[in-house]
Structure formats: C-alpha cells, structure tokens
Structure 1
Amino acid sequence: MTAHTAPPALPAPPALPDLSDQAPSHCNACGAVSPQPLGDKDFAYSCNDHFAGTAQFPPADAPVRYHRCGSCQFTFTAALDGWTPQDFQAHIYNADYVRADPVFADVRPTRNSQMVAALWNRALQDTVVLDFGGGDGTFARRLQAMGHRCHTVDPFHGEDTPELLDSYDLITCFEVIEHVPHGDLDGWFTTLLGHLSPQGTVLLSTELLDADMALSNWYIAPRNGHISLHTAASLRALAAHHGLSVFSINHEMHLLRRPRTEGCGYRNRAMGDRLTVLDTLGDPPPSLAP
C-alpha cells in the first residue's frame, strides 16, 4: 500500500454511540466460553496510520475493548454490537472512510477484478458472480467492463442493487468478514450462504492473524471497522459450523465451499474444472465445529 502524508485537520466528529464494555460470555466463532480481555484501542486508530506513518484522525478518547478467545484465538470487540446500521454509516462508513482505507474506492476492487478474471478466465462466460459486501459496485463494474456478469449486494450501498438470482456458483467477499459485528457473525454467514448454490464456492479475503498477535497490530483498527479479526482456526471453526470447508491460498485469500455430494455437479463445467482442487478438502473437521 502506498504511504500517505498527514491529512488536513478534520472538524470535531459527532459524539459516538455507546461503546459497550460488557465482557462477552462466549466466542461466536467457535463457541468457547469466557474470551479474555486483550486491551483497549482508541476508536480513531486506522490501518492507514501504520502505512502513512501518522495518525489520520484526531484522538477520539473512546477506548474500544478487544477480547481474544482462548480456544481459536479469534480477536474481536463486542463494543459495537449495539450499534445500528445508521451508527456504522455515520461514524465509520462515511465520507472520511477513505482516510482510513485509501485503496477501498478503486485500487482494491480493480485489482481484485483482474485477479478473478485471470483465475477463472473463460469459466466466467456462463457464470454470474455475486460480490457480497461489494461497496458501491466498482468491482462489479470492472468485471462487466471485461465482458463478465456480476451483481453486487451491500447493506451500506443498496441504491442500485439489481434483482438477484436465486443462487450463485461463485460469490466473492473481499475484506468484509472483519467488519462483521461479533453478535452478527452467525446471521451474516447465514445470509451469505442463502445466495450460494449447493455446489458453489466463496472466494473470501481477510488477513489472518497469528494466534499471539499483539493488540498494536495495524490490522486491528476500529476506525476501519475492523472489529472481528480471524485466525486460521477461528475461520475454519466458523465455516465448519455452517457446513463449509476452507482452503486458504495464503494468509489473505480463502476458498469456502460445502463438501461435494454424489450427483451434485457444477452448472458451469468450466467453473467446476477450475475448482476441482477443493474436492480434496472433504468434510469440515468435526474437532473445529462448535
């Protein structure tokens, strides 16, 4: 990511809604009880503070308490679990969000569209992709400009949402799951899977943290809305709870799908040929299911 200089001074932000400091009773990724407090991080901290070398927002003097699960090492805050979508829109996903994530608007969706087009190539010709949590639709427009079909759905950019299909063989979900409130993890996954065909695959991106990652890590950033940070174990546990296997290409890119069953073939043969590597995954590991 390109470094950025200090931004001009911002006007005082509106008062934040309540930030809960109540300890969560269990981890919503794996179900283990009594996650332990990890520490507090000021609400104004953004990922771009790290890359720019300077704070992008004035201090909010609003501590956000993060917890870590002792079983799967999922790092999260429940402080924003009581926020409404309007609260998130007003205080995180507002006009200043680009200061926290400069590549959000164009660079990332353009890069991701090129990657998907290269990976699936002609397999996309007979497939409609769904970009889940796709912002203002830039990724979809880039794919469409390459001659492919892509729909977008996003709770904060719903004005131009097209009529969706009953299901999709390929769903992309870039840099979304870390924004999902701890209390909404199950509901979010259920909604995602409601769009996925029985033989479909999810291409999901999120940075996986090491089990002992310090709270000071740049990716743990309240102002970006990074409130649910996964490890390999927590992502596999959450996926297994919903009947999915996970194949991590690297620490950022992950393929999720249901185990193949007899007679459950791909509607798009070329798409299926691209995904045969996933046939080796088998069933979700029972030991990781909550």
Structure 2
Amino acid sequence: MTACTLCDSAATQAYHQDKQRAYFQCRACSLVFADPVSHLTPEQEKAVYDQHENHVEDEGYRRFLSRLAAPLSVRLPPGPLAGLDFGCGPGPALASMFREQGHQVAVYDPYFAPDTGVLASQYDFVTCTEAIEHFYTPAREWQLLLSLVKPGGWLGLMTKLATDAEAFSRWHYKNDPTHVSFFSRETFRYLAQRDGLTVEFIGNDVIMLRKNQS
C-alpha cells in the first residue's frame, strides 16, 4: 500500500476509485490523496492552470478571496506587517488586497512567480488559497509553509474539506486532475497537535492556524 504523502504513515487504505485514478486515505492523519502514479507532468499541470482567468481587479474573485482575507485581517496585530501569498497563481489579487491595507506582501508560485528568494524569509502571515490541494508532496510543502511563518504568526488557508467516502464519490472537487491532496478537519487537527499550532475553521473552506510563540 502507498505510504501517506503527508505524514509518511504506512497505515493507508483504499478510499475511492474512478475512471481517472485511485485514491487512498491515511488512518493516522486522515489525508485523502490521489495515487501518485496518476500525477500530471509539470507541463500538463501548467496547461491546466493557464486556463484559469483570475485577475487582480476582478471584483468577483476579490469577493471570493475576502472569505479568507477578512477573518485573517481581524486576527492580525496592527501593521504594517510582512506577508507572503504562497501559490498566488497568475493573478495575485490576495496580495494586492493586503497591500491596500498597508502591508508588505511578497508572492510565490512555482509557475507564475518562481522567485525562491522570498522563501528564505519569515513572515507575520502567510496565505495559501486554493493551492494546498495541488501539493504533490504535502509533507515537504507543509514543512516549507511552517518555516515561512514567524513564531506567533498566522497561516491562512483556503481549500475545500473532505468529509466522508460517500460524499467524496460525488464530489466535483476531486475531478480536477491537478487536485491530488484532500485535507479534512481531522487532518488539520492532527497537524495542529503535531506541529504546535492553534487551528480555527471558518465556514467550509477557510482554515486559520497560528504558530506558537516558541
């Protein structure tokens, strides 16, 4: 059986099978993940992302992002602060929204903003919206995200949360071939306990994690 791509546990089990790929679930951290043999190549993945039309000034897109931006903003201390939008995509609207509040916000995306120099710093807050489900190696990428957050800082995530196998079988979210890692509330609670974080869930797809001071 394939080891968990997040916590490396060997305690995984078959979870779902469709025409495109197989999915497994980890019994330790509850992550549901697509069989790694089904992952797209970087060129195929980039071709899918190039079809997205998310623009900085698009009001509908900004309203969507405000579901994370608004609750994170009220949790931040007075600024200006240093932030990073990780996985910003071709239209870094969220970074623009926080800059409009007076914060200094860097951006990173392996395809659209690949300056790895920004990954050498730590930030008061890091955002990652609709990106964590794309992580092929979530164990490595999760540790990278944590390393970017200062002690006492915030990590704000947006991703649709997996619930149960029956709902998963009908879930449109899994049909995107670039979606390979499906987190649940149980997964984030596991990570929070393991990594010394506090976790809050806002609605069905926003997760706020705060790093301990020490």
Q: Same fold (TM over 0.5)?
A: yes
Is structure 2 residue 21 aligned with structure 1 residue 64?
A: yes
Which of 163, 171, 178 aligns to 2:126? It is 171
Is structure 2 residue 201 aligned with structure 1 residue 245?
A: no
1:143-171 CA distances to partner (integer Å, 9 max, x unpaired)? 33454332111111126x59637211111
3-state DSSP of counterpart to 1:199 = strand
Which of 109, 112, 135 aligns to 2:65? It is 112
Contact 2:39 2:180 in 1 (8 A): no
Which residue of structure 2 aligns with residue 85 of structure 1?
42
Which residue of structure 2 aligns with residue 143 of structure 1?
98
Alignment length (residue pairs) = 207
Closer, same or farther: CA 30–81 of 1 in aligned 2, 3 Å: same
Is structure 2 residue 192 aligned with structure 1 residue 215?
A: no
3-state DSSP of counterpart to 2:30 = coil
3-state DSSP of counterpart to 2:162 = coil
Cα distance between partner residues in 1 of 2:161 and 2:197: 18
Is structure 2 residue 159 aligned with structure 1 residue 206?
A: yes
1:17-48 CA distances to partner (integer Å, 9 max, x unpaired)? xxxxxx41x22334443422233334xxxxxx
Contact 1:29 1:235 in 2 (8 A): no
Structure 1 counterpart of 2:49, which letter?
Y
Cα distance between partner residues in 2 of 1:124 and 1:163: 26
Which residue of structure 1 aligns with residue 84 of structure 2?
130
Cα distance between partner residues in 2 of 1:214 and 1:81: 18
Closer, same or farther: CA 85–127 of 1 in aligned 2, 3 Å: same
Cα distance between partner residues in 2 of 1:140 and 1:32: 35
- Report the Cα offset of residue 110 of structure 1: 5.0
Contact 1:132 1:153 in 2 (8 A): yes
Which residue of structure 2 aligns with residue 17 of structure 1?
none
Q: Which has the larger radius of gyration?
A: 1
Structure 2 gap segments, 5+ residues each: none
Structure 2 counterpart of 1:227, which letter?
V
Cα distance between partner residues in 1 of 2:191 and 2:37: 20
Cα distance between partner residues in 1 of 2:168 and 2:143: 31
3-state DSSP of counterpart to 2:73 = helix
Cα distance between partner residues in 1 of 2:68 and 2:198: 22
Contact 1:30 1:237 in 2 (8 A): no
- Report the Cα offset of residue 209 of structure 1: 1.7
Cα distance between partner residues in 1 of 2:26 and 2:67: 36
- Report the Cα offset of residue 257 of structure 1: 2.5
Closer, same or farther: CA 251–177 of 1 in aligned 2, 3 Å: same
**TM-align CA RMSD:** 3.0
Higher helix share: 2
- Report the Cα offset of residue 190 of structure 1: 1.9
Closer, same or farther: CA 149–110 of 1 in aligned 2, 3 Å: farther
3-state DSSP of counterpart to 1:219 = helix
Cα distance between partner residues in 1 of 2:183 and 2:71: 27
- Report the Cα offset of residue 142 of structure 1: 3.2
1:216-272 CA distances to partner (integer Å, 9 max, x unpaired)? 21222233x2211112112222344444332223331111123334xxxxxxxxxxx
- Report the Cα offset of residue 129 of structure 1: 1.7
TM-score (norm 1): 0.60
Higher strand share: 2
Structure 1 gap segments, 5+ residues each: 1-22, 43-62, 99-103, 262-290
